[in-house]
Amino acid sequence: MAELIRLAMSNFTLTFLLLGVLAGLVAAALKPGGWTRANLAEELLAYFILFTVAIAYFYNFVFHVFFGELAASFIGWADSPFQAEVGYASLGFAAIGLLAFKSNWTVRLASILGPAMFQWGAAVGHIRDILETDNMAPGNAGVMLYSDILLPVIGFALLWMKRRADHASAPLLVGSVHS
């Protein structure tokens, strides 16, 4: 059991993504109408933001601020004061994610856009580090690298899905009566 917990927490981006998908599916199933396109779009986006932005970035905050030396070694880097800076930036993303969980589309866009810029920039840094130093530490390559690239893509896809679902269910004319 300890090994399973270690695996889940060292691959926390994947763990929180999977928990978010599961929570979103359950939440959509419990809504009136069940698994409609609109319900799935809403709940998958909401729980993606809650788990992969709010909770995952809070986890990242704790890891980098309170366990900075461990975080640095997980990435294959030396510990430095920048660990705390990454941690506090992560706390900011976590706060935005929490605000965006059940907020409007614009706030949700902001909650995905900021972390996307951070993650894609981190991916460039990790790839460069792999190419220059052959650093294949778990926090520099593997799940973490793929997460840095793919989580923003998933987030933007869910935003697009939500936008389409909202437009598909919107009435053509405000106040129109259908017989």
pLDDT tens track for 79-129: 998 889 999 999 999 999 999 999 999 999 999 999 999 999 999 999 999
Tokens for 14, please give them: 């994947």
Mean pLDDT computed over 33-48 = 95
User: Given a cut of 90, is residue 164 above it in pLDDT?
Assistant: yes
Question: What distance lies between CA 90 and its chain's CA centroid?
Answer: 11
In a domain, 158, yes or no: yes
Residue with token string 């009136």:
32
Residue 177 within any structural domain of the chain = no
Domain that holds residue 96: 2-168
Q: What is the pLDDT of residue 170?
A: 59
- pLDDT at res. 172: 45
Any domain includes 179: no
pLDDT digits (tens, 9 = 90+) for 46-56: 999 999 999 99
Dihedral Cα 80, 85, 89, 91, nearest 10 deg: 90
Residue with tokens 């909202």: 166
pLDDT of residue 65: 96
Distance of alpha carbon 66 from alpha carbon 92, whole angstroms: 16
Rg of the chain taking only CA atoms, in angstroms = 19
Q: Name the domain count of the chain.
A: 1
Q: How far is CA 128 from the centre of its chain?
A: 23
* φ, ψ of residue 31 in degrees (nearest 5): -75, 150
* Mean pLDDT of the residues in the chain: 92
pLDDT > 70 in the chain, percent: 94
Alpha helices in the chain (DSSP H): 2-10, 12-30, 37-48, 56-66, 68-75, 82-100, 105-133, 143-169
- Whether 28 maps to a domain, the answer reads yes
> What distance in Å separates the CA atoms of residue 124 and residue 71, rounded to the nearest whole number?
19
pLDDT of residue 171: 54
